[in-house]
Amino acid sequence: MAEDFDLVILGGGTGGYVAAIRAAQLGLKTAVVEKGKLGGTCLHKGCIPSKALLRSAEVYQTAVKSEEFGIVTGDVKVDFLKVQERKNKVVDQLYKGVQHLMKQGKITVYEGLGRILGPSIFSPMPGTISVEMNNGSENEMLIPQNVIIATGSRPKTLPGLAIDGELVLTSDEALKLQSLPKSMIIVGGGVIGIEWASMLNDFGVEVTVLEYADRIIPTEDHDISSEMLLLLKKKGVKFVIGAKVLPDTLKTDDSVTISAEVKGSVEEFTAEKMLVSVGRSANVEGIGLENTEIVKEKGFIETNDFFQTKESHIYAIGDCIGGLQLAHVASHEGITAVEHIAGQKPERLDYSLISKCVYSSPEAASVGLTEEQANKEGYDLKIGKFPFRAVGKALVFGEADGFVKIIADKRTDDILGVHMIGPHVTDMISEAGLAKVLDATPWEIGKTIHPHPSLSEAIGEAALAVDGRAIHS
C-alpha cells in the first residue's frame, strides 16, 4: 500500500531526525526511513560513544593523579568491560530519547532501506520511495512531495589496506573492543585519529600515530596543531609525521606490522592492533540516485545553498554532501532544508560561523579563519594570545597547558577567528561562536566581564591582548 507524505527523509541520524522534528513543527506530514537505529553514526558509532570512552579515560587519569590533589586512592585499574557498559547505557538512554521525540512529533518511522524510484505510476517525477523493510515484510511505497537524503557516511580506508575488524580496525570496530590492546598504530592524525590517540594513551595503551601530512589536525590553526603535537608527545604518544603508509607491506598474525615511507626511507612499525582513521565516504550507493538527475562530485551529492539537488524537490544534507562532516552541521543543514521546503525563506548557512571541536586531552576548538587562511585572504592581522597557565581556575584544575588565540582584522577590528587548546575549551567555544554571529570585535569581548575564577577568563584576556591590553601577562 502506498502512503502520501509532505516529506520523506532517508536516514535517521542527527541530520535526518532533527530535520524531521523541524518539519513536524511546521505542520508537514513527515516520515523517516532508517535501516539501522535512529540517531545514526553520531549516536551509535561516533560522537556519543567515543566521548563516553574519552570521559572514562579522563576519570582514570584523574584517579591516577589524585595524590597530586591530596587524595590517596591506592591501586587504580581500568575495568574496560564496565567502561563499555557505561558507554552503552549512555547511548541507549539517548536512543530512547530520540524514539520519544519521533512519537511526540507524530513522525512515522520506517525501519528499512529506502530507495528512490524514477517516474512511475505513483509520480511523474523521481522521488517515490520504496522501503525494503528490515523485518522482511512487503516493501512499503511512500509518495512524498519532497525528499531529504541524509544517509551519512562510513569510515574509509587506504586503497589496498583491508579492514579485518580484528587486528586492523576502523572506528566502528574500535568502539566495540572488549579489552584494551597493549599497543596501537593509528593511521591518520586528523580529528578522529587524535581523539583515539589521546584516549588510548590515557588508558595506558602505547600509541604510534602515522600521519601523511606535514602536521596533525591539519585543518586547525598551525599554532593549535603544534601545541597538540607537543602536549601529546609529552604524555607519551609517538608521532611519525610525513609517513606514507605502504598497504602492501601489511602483515597480520597475532599482531600488526606495516611499513611507511618516511623522509625517503622505509620504516617498519608493529603493534597489537591498528586503527585506520583516514576520513569518511558518503553513503550514496543503493539508494536509487541512478533513477534521478542528481549529480555527484568526488563521491558526494552536489547541492545548492539551500541543499536542493538537481532534482529541486530532492534535498541532501550532512555527511553525504561532504564539507564539514559534523553532527551539528548536519542538524542545521536539515533545519535550513526543511524551512526552505516549507517556504520559510531561511538564510543561507554560513559555515564560517560553525565551531569545530577536538575532544582529546587537551581539547581543541575553533571558529572562523585560521591565521594562514586569513593571510591568504589578504587581511592585515592583529592577534592576541593568552595562556591557561596564567588563569587561576586552570591551575586549580591542574590543567594549565594550552592557550586562547584571537585573530582580528586590523582595519575593521572584526574578529576573524578564535582558536583554543586546553581544558574544557569545547564548552567555551560557543562564546566565540556568538561573537562571530554578532560580528563582534575584541574590544567587545574584552568589555564582557568574565567571572573569576573561571577558565573563560582566558578568552577575555586574549581579546584584550589583541590590542596589547591583557592584564595578567
Q: Which of 100, 222, 452, 472 is catalytic?
A: 452
Q: What is the band of 125 on the pLDDT scale with cuts at 50, 70, 90?
A: confident
| Strand partners for 385 | 405
DSSP 3-state assignment of 473? Answer: coil
- In this prediction, residue 196 carries a pLDDT of 98
DSSP 3-state assignment of 373? Answer: helix
Long-range contacts of 54-57 (CB under 8 A, 24+ apart): 54/195, 54/198, 54/199, 54/359, 54/360, 54/361, 56/83, 56/86, 56/87, 57/198, 57/199, 57/200, 57/202, 57/203, 57/361
Hey, what's the cell of 195?
581523539
Q: What is the band of 123 on the pLDDT scale with cuts at 50, 70, 90?
A: confident
DSSP 3-state assignment of 18? Answer: helix
Q: Please state the pTM of the whole predicted model.
A: 0.96
pLDDT tens-place string over residues 369-418: 999 999 999 999 999 999 999 999 999 999 999 999 999 999 999 999 99
pLDDT tens-place string over residues 433-473: 999 999 999 999 999 999 999 999 999 999 999 999 999 98
Say how far apart CA 193 and CA 239 lie, in whole Å: 11
Q: Is 452 a catalytic residue?
A: yes
Say how far apart CA 402 and CA 389 lie, in whole Å: 8
DSSP 3-state assignment of 345? Answer: coil
Average pLDDT value for residue range 83-98: 98
Say how far apart CA 228 and CA 388 lie, in whole Å: 14
β-pair type (30-34, 2-10): parallel
- In this prediction, residue 120 carries a pLDDT of 78
Say how far apart CA 429 and CA 439 lie, in whole Å: 15
How would you class 285 by CB atoms within 10 Å of its CB: exposed for 0-12, middle for 13-18, buried for 19 or more?
Answer: exposed
Checking if the pLDDT of 133 tops 80, the result is: yes
